[in-house]
Structure 1
Amino acid sequence: MKFFRGSIILFLLLLNNQLFAQSQENPWVFSVNSSIINLQGDLNEKGINFGLPAISFSRHLGGGISIGAQTSIADVENFSTLYSYRSLDGFAKINLGKGNFIPSLIGGYGFSQFADGLEREGFFPSTETSRTVFGGLGFSIYLSNKLAINLQSTYRSMNENDGFDHLQHNFGISLGFGSNDSDKDGVSDKKDKCPTVPGLKKYEGCPDTDGDGIIDKDDKCPEVKGLEEFNGCLDSDNDGIPDPEDACPNKKGNNEMSGCPDSDGDSVPDNIDKCIDIPGPKENEGCPWPDTDGDGVNDNEDLCKEEKGTLENNGCPELSEEIVKTLNEFGSRINFPANSFQIIGRKTIENLMNIKKLLDENIDGNLIIEGYASSDGEEQYNVQLSLNRAEAVRDYLIKLGVAAERLDVKGFGEKNPLEDNESPEGRAINRRVQFKSN
């Protein structure tokens, strides 16, 4: 018997660190079983004796260990002598696994009674009730989160002379109740700060996947072991900016550049700077503006990127002053009747043809045609009339073959008169067009 008890204790100690609990999800368990009593010893009849009920009530403590109390009733026959069997015990149980099938070890101390019907004195007469040590094996098959089928077999050793050592086999069902543990992490939902995710008890039921001491729900990088100052993330380049917020996590930078360096100091971070060693504007991806036509006007300001021009003309070519002067000599001979913008007269058409020829000979440069009016009529009327005159000249030159994109028009009304509007001759001269390089 000492060997048996010692073996049980040693076995429990060896397995203690590997055992899993009937989870705290349902820490209280109530069981109802039928039992079979099988007497042991050479002088006893080893028959099968059925009993009902066998009831137990237990509480999970943690670490796979539960404690509880149990009682059972049965009728036992031994060589035609009928005994009324009763037992009342305290026990400890250790679960050896988790899941739907859980084996377990059980052991305890209590009292067993084999009463033969003879009246005796005392509440626990020693000749009928014996102190009992027992131990054995069992397993539970879980049908649901709370309901299980139980099988258990124990060897019960009685310390009194008139008792019988015996095997007790229980079969029945158990019902778990108490605190719920939805994520089955051993922390009840009531105390679990992460009730839907399996976690650790030291973090009140929350997981810490990367083991950095910061629970996942507070960890911005739950799969990377990081630092508390960066909410669980790393700062790989030690620039004070956590990797998830660092556009260049492996190159030391600054906050203004989102964690990236700016090697050329042009305020364009290296990760988007296509010319990291040469300063340039952000609008050109950190590179200097080119001057495609080499006219000294950068492309961002050059309206004629592929034609050499002048700075004064925004990078576009200009007609020389001499050409413009010649154009205006022809233009001075183009006059309009009062209140009219029609192109009429042989001399007017000849002058327009000369203008077209001169533009053909000087293909670089565009032209602004300015229309003017005399002081006849209202000011607003004269502005529109002067614009119509400029458009009429433009349209005629386009008809002759001048490219439309080379010609622009403006109307100035009675402004900038060449002659006095008090005389008919002066007003006739002021009804005119002039040309400027564009």
Structure 2
Amino acid sequence: MKHLSRFLVALLLVVGFSNVKAQDENNPWQINIAVNAVDFYPTNDMEAAGITGKWFDEYFNVGDHYNILPTLSSISVSKYVGDGFSVGARGSVNRIEKYGDVKVEDLTYYGFDALIKYNINELYDMGKFDPYLEVGGGYTWVDDIGAGTVNGGLGFNYWFTENIAFNLQSTYKHSFEDYLAPHFQHMAGIAIKFGGKDTDEDGIYDKDDACPDVKGLPEFNGCPDTDGDGIEDSKDDCPDTAGLAALNGCPDTDGDGIADAKDDCPEVAGTAAMNGCPDADGDGITDAKDNCPNEAGPSANKGCPWTDKDGDGVLDKDDRCPEVAGVAENDGCPPIPRMTEIEITELDNLARTVYFNSGKDSFKQETYEILNKIVELIKGFPAEEFTIGGHTDSVGSDSLNQKLSEKRANAVKSYLESKLSNKFTAIGYGENEPIASNRTRKGRAQNRRVEIKLVKN
């Protein structure tokens, strides 16, 4: 009973060690509960030659060398401190009946050790298989005689779940005192991880908290719902104003199914097509912008129906002459006058009587009367377009005649443009298009001419 009391003291020291710091770190604590076996044989103990063996001799000879207390006889607690390292402490108790190859009296064994572990998965991730190295030191008593030890060990956890694992470990404990022999201590048991950091103090550990820096609610994995509408802030388009789930947490004051933030008329029920505003006449124009809200009309007429004041079948919006009846072909204006064949022939005949001073592009005096008659004839047809062609006889060089024909055509064009708004195009043909023989004076006179042609649209 005395030894059991000492073990309980050691156990309390372990638990006390685990509470030196509050559980406020990101990574969990770990507690190991195990059965331990003590083996003095494979230690190469020179002081006990003939009783113990060389290093690792009969290392797995459980029946001849292992001292096992058939109950949970070891407990340890460790804390992860970063970069793969953990620190902790272990308490253990046993009953010694085998010292190497020698049977001994029933001796009590108990120990208390501090430990430093390095998790090999920090370097090589092996999944559920979690090996580690351990070093440390402590104090071990055998039948009330104790000594300090330096320890080194190797073990692994195999995690069945996120928090529970099977644990197996072997540790060599070396004492520099003659009255405590070096020995191996093996442990097999269960490892349990627990604890964690809760930065935002919402009762949810950071490792399980989707929003570890902001206080939240368990139903949202630690994330907040500021407006209390049952929608977590990260999924709430209006996190500061209570709203509806169907509208991603935003309110709908007028109940038209359109969130206020997207509703151009949040106080008056409307339609989605009108961004939440009403359209009483259904013409696609909101009532607020419709000059005739109860009578359908196009937006181009501010929501009112189109009119046709002059009754010519062309709506006022398309009618260039809305007060005067016209035709559709002229955008609602009266028909555009067009030259007849008689007028075209008359124009052609007048153009042929346009005379220039010899070798020049200036008009003879009597030609102005002809030009004015042409102006009077064309004036009644403002929409017509004309081509003015200049021609010469063959006297002189081709280049000279070409230039002269162009100048004469442009002289007629300039005169007509000064009197009329019609469009005129001047072209010089030189001597290339004669209408009579250039071998006779009469023929050459006919070839020296101007032609005004109607451009047919």
Larger Rg computed on CA atoms: 2
How does the TM-score come out when normalised to structure 1?
0.40
How does the TM-score come out when normalised to structure 2?
0.38
